[in-house]
Amino acid sequence: MKIGIVLSGGGIRGIAHLGVLKALQDQKITISMITGTSAGAIVGALFANGIDPYSALQIFQETRILRFLRPAFLSPALLSLESTIPLFKRYLPHDSFENLKIPLIITSTNFNKGKLVYFQKGDLIRKVLASSCIPGVFNPLMIDGEFYVDGGVLNNFPIEPLLNNCDFIIGSSCNHLPEIDKFRNIKHVFERAAVLSINSDMEEKLKCVDFLVEPYGLGQTSLFDTKRAEEIFWLAHEETLKQIDHLKTKMEAKEKGIIAK
């Protein structure tokens, strides 16, 4: 059975995908295809290149990627991702979709045309970074003469490429928001509004997901709260293992042509 996984965007919350993938890997569940946006594109590229999920977490912690960011002078954003390209080349030296061990499709937003784009061929690193360019925070990246920004602007949960290519689809979402009864500050208001926006079409998309891992309340974590990286990893890992028997039951039922509840 061909198993696909879709990895949402979500800044530092995307570390949760590594925890999910580690649990699946430990349970000998083989992923055949990956789609991802933003943080999900970064995690997807590393995993598709054969890097162990916990090793990827350690890479993040040891390199402290935020130290590689540089101010984006005379541009419409605060920071530039261009300076991180050499760092990514350490772990993706071939810089190619075609040389990944698992097929990967990532999304980005063509800022010139205002259209969603799926990348799955050619140079890899620049397209992964383009998928992660949060508008206003990171300077848009130029690819083939046009500017690209975060894929989450138009599609933060790119399940579509998996629909006709996989027999079973696992979703990993790191943006769950609990109900609240008060606002902490204006930053809280803006961050919650942003997550609500990217979650707006999730209800419809989840109809196509066979199994979802979505740690409770993770959407409350700030995009750049790097101190929570390890905690987020194990939170998602534990959540996946809690549901692993249910996942295996659904996989067996799907393989036999039985609809599992």
The DSSP annotation for 95-106 comes to -BSTTSSS-EEE
Q: How many CB atoms lie within 10 A of CB 159?
A: 21
Q: Is pLDDT of 64 > 80? A: no
pLDDT, tens digit, 9 for 90 and up, residues 189-242: 877 888 888 888 899 999 999 999 999 989 888 888 888 999 999 999 999 999
Is there a catalytic annotation at residue 210? no
**High-pLDDT (> 70) share of the chain, %:** 93
Q: Which of 38, 108, 131, 172 is catalytic?
A: 38
Q: Is pLDDT of 136 > 90? A: no
Is there a catalytic annotation at residue 181? no
Q: How far apart are CA 258 and CA 155, in angstroms?
A: 31
Which helix (H) or strand (E) segment holds residue 168: the answer is strand 168-172
The residue ranking higher by pLDDT, 177 or 76, is 177
Domain range list for the chain: 3-256
pLDDT, tens digit, 9 for 90 and up, residues 36-46: 999 999 999 99
Q: Which of 150, 172, 173, 210 is catalytic?
A: 150
Q: Is pLDDT of 56 > 60? A: yes
Looking at CATH, the fold of the domain delimited by 3-256 is given as: Cytosolic phospholipase A2 catalytic domain (3.40.1090)
pLDDT for 85:
92
